[in-house]
Amino acid sequence: MIYREFDGCRLSLLGFGCMRFAPDPATGEIDQEKVNAMFDLAIREGVNYFDTAYPYLGGKSETAMAEALSSYPRESYYLADKFPGHSLTHPIDNIALFHVSLRKCRTDYFDFYLLHNITEWSVKYYESREYHILPDLLQMKKEGKIRRLGFSFHGGPDFLEDFLTRHEGVFDFVQIQLNYLDWTLQDAKRKYEIITSRGLGVWVMEPCRGGKLASLPEEAAGKLRSLEKERGSGPLSDASYAFRFLQSLPGVKVILSGMNEVFQVEDNLRTFRKEWPLSEEEREALMDIAETLKKGVPCTGCRYCCDGCPAGLDIPYLLQCYNDYAFAATMPPSMRIDALEEEKRPAACISCGQCAHACPQGIDVPSVLKKLSEMYEKGPHWEEMVRIRQKAISRDLGEK
C-alpha cells in the first residue's frame, strides 16, 4: 500500500468511501456481509482510512461502517465523518448532532471531521452566527473529539480562495472533486494549487467522476488498450489510470473510492500496492481522452463578456453550472444556481447577444443560458432536497 504522511498520520493513499454500499436484493437493506468482506480485504492490504457522512445512504452508512470496523482496534484506522450544515433549514443543537454521529460510529473521536459540502449556497449557513456551526466544531476540536478539521468543497476556485482567506488557520485539509477530467473541466488544477499553496492537505473525492472514468466509451478506452499493446502489457482497468493520475500529485494525501463490490476493492488494491507513475505517453493520452469526454462549452473564464451584460449576470459561473449539467453531474447543479438571487439566475438573460459578440471562444451564450434555465426548471431543486434532509436531522435530534 502506498502511504502518505500528514500531520503525524501515516495515511493509506487509498481511502474507503462509504457512500455507495450496495443493498441486499432480498431485503433492500445494506448488505452488511458484503461490507464486512470488503473492509476485511482492504484492511488486510493496508487501507487505514474510512470516510462517511451523516446523510450518506439515508443515515445508514455510519452504522454499517461502524459494524464492519467493530472487530478492529480503534487506533488501527483513521475515521472521517462530516457535519451536514448544507442540509439545515434552521439552527439546531450542533453538538447534539455531532454526538449522534459519534454514537452511530461507535467512537468517541474523529481523526478527521469535515464541514460537508461547502458551496456558494451552503456557506451562508456555515458562516452564520445564528447557526453557530464553526464555533461549536472548534469547541469539539479543543476537547479532542475532532483531531483535524477540514471541509468538502463543490464551489468554484475564486470562492475557495476567498473562503480559505476568511478562515485562515482554521482548517487542516480540503476535500475536492479531482480527476483527470475535472483537472481542466472544473478547474480542479487551480483548486489543488490554492489548497497546497496554503500548506493544507488535498483529499480527493470522485476520482473516477461517479464511475464515468472507470468505464470509458469504446473509442477512449481503445487509446489506452493501444498503449498497452505497444508496450506488451495486459489490459489494465480504466479506473487504474484515473487513480495513477492522482498518485502523481504530491499534495494529495487521501484518494477516496466509493467501493461497493469486492472486485473493485481488489482492482484498487492492485493499483495502490506501490507507486506506479504514469508515463508521459499515458498522461498525454488521458488528457486527450478528457477533451473527447467533455460536453458543454469551452468557456475559459476570461470574463470579457461580463462588463457589458445589462442583466449583470456572472456568465462564466453560469456556464460552469451548464457544463456540470451537460456531463452527468455528481452533485445537483441546482445547488449552485439556488445560491444566486433570482435576478442573477439564467432566466434573467434578455438575449441581447452582447456577450456572444465579446466572447473569443465564439460561445452562443444566450442559447446556452436558455438551455440551462430549462434544465434548472425541471429540477430537482436543492432547496427542496434540503427540506427533506432537515426532517431526518430533526427526527434524530428528537425535535418536535
Mark 250-277 as b/e (b = at least 16 C-beta within 10 Å).
eebbbbbbbbbeeebbebbbebbeeeee
Rg (CA), the chain: 22
Write out the binding residues for ligand SF4, residues 293-352 only, by CB under 6 A. Answer: 299-305, 309-311, 313, 315-316, 319, 349-352
Residue range at the interface with ligand SF4 (CB under 6 A); choices 7-15, 27-35, 130-138, 357-365 = 357-365
Of these, 135, 235, 353, 380, which contacts ligand SF4 (CB under 6 A)? 353
361 binds ligand SF4 (CB under 6 A): yes
From the CB of 363, what's the least distance to ligand SF4, in Å? 5
Pick between residue 190 and residue 283 the one whose CB is nearest to ligand SF4.
190
Pick between residue 138 and residue 352 the one whose CB is nearest to ligand SF4.
352
From the CB of 191, what's the least distance to ligand SF4, in Å? 18
From the CB of 313, what's the least distance to ligand SF4, in Å? 5
Residue range at the interface with ligand SF4 (CB under 6 A); choices 11-19, 127-135, 223-231, 361-369 = 361-369
Query: What is the distance between the terminal CA atoms of the chain, rounded to a whole angstrom?
Result: 48
Report how many residues bind ligand SF4 under the rule CB under 6 A.
28
Of these, 355, 375, 386, 393, which contacts ligand SF4 (CB under 6 A)? 355
From the CB of 69, what's the least distance to ligand SF4, in Å? 47
Show the 3-state SS of the chain.
CCEEEECCEEEECEEEECCCCCECCCCCCECHHHHHHHHHHHHHCCCCEEECCCCHHHHHHHHHHHHHHCCCCHHHCEEEEEECHHHCCCCCCHHHHHHHHHHHCCCCCECEEEEEEECCCCHHHHCCCCCCHHHHHHHHHHCCCECCEEEEECCCHHHHHHHHHHCCCCCCEEEEECCCCHHHHCCHHHHHHHHHHCCCEEEEECCCCCCHHHCCCHHHHHHHHHHHHHHCCCCCCHHHHHHHHHHCCCCEEEEEECCCCHHHHHHHHHHHCCCCCCCHHHHHHHHHHHHHHCCCCCCCCCCCCCCCCCCCCCHHHHHHHHHHHHCCCCCCCHHHHHCCCHHHCHHHCCCCCHHHHHCCCCCCHHHHHHHHHHHHHHCCCHHHHHHHHHHHHHHHHCCC
Of these, 354, 367, 390, 394, which contacts ligand SF4 (CB under 6 A)? 354
Pick between residue 30 and residue 319 the one whose CB is nearest to ligand SF4.
319
Pick between residue 312 and residue 379 the one whose CB is nearest to ligand SF4.
312
From the CB of 189, what's the least distance to ligand SF4, in Å? 17
From the CB of 359, what's the least distance to ligand SF4, in Å? 3
From the CB of 373, what's the least distance to ligand SF4, in Å? 11
Pick between residue 264 and residue 323 the one whose CB is nearest to ligand SF4.
323
Cα–Cα nearest to 83, from 67, 70, 96, 65: 96
Of these, 102, 359, 375, 393, which contacts ligand SF4 (CB under 6 A)? 359
From the CB of 337, what's the least distance to ligand SF4, in Å? 14
Pick between residue 46 and residue 301 the one whose CB is nearest to ligand SF4.
301
From the CB of 220, what's the least distance to ligand SF4, in Å? 25
Residue 246-285 contact track with ligand SF4, rule CB under 6 A, x = bound? ----------------------------------------
364 binds ligand SF4 (CB under 6 A): no
Show the 3-state SS of 242-260.
HHHHHHCCCCEEEEEECCC
From the CB of 68, what's the least distance to ligand SF4, in Å? 46
**Interaction site with ligand SF4 (CB under 6 A):** 299-305, 309-311, 313, 315-316, 319, 349-355, 358-359, 361, 363, 365-366, 369
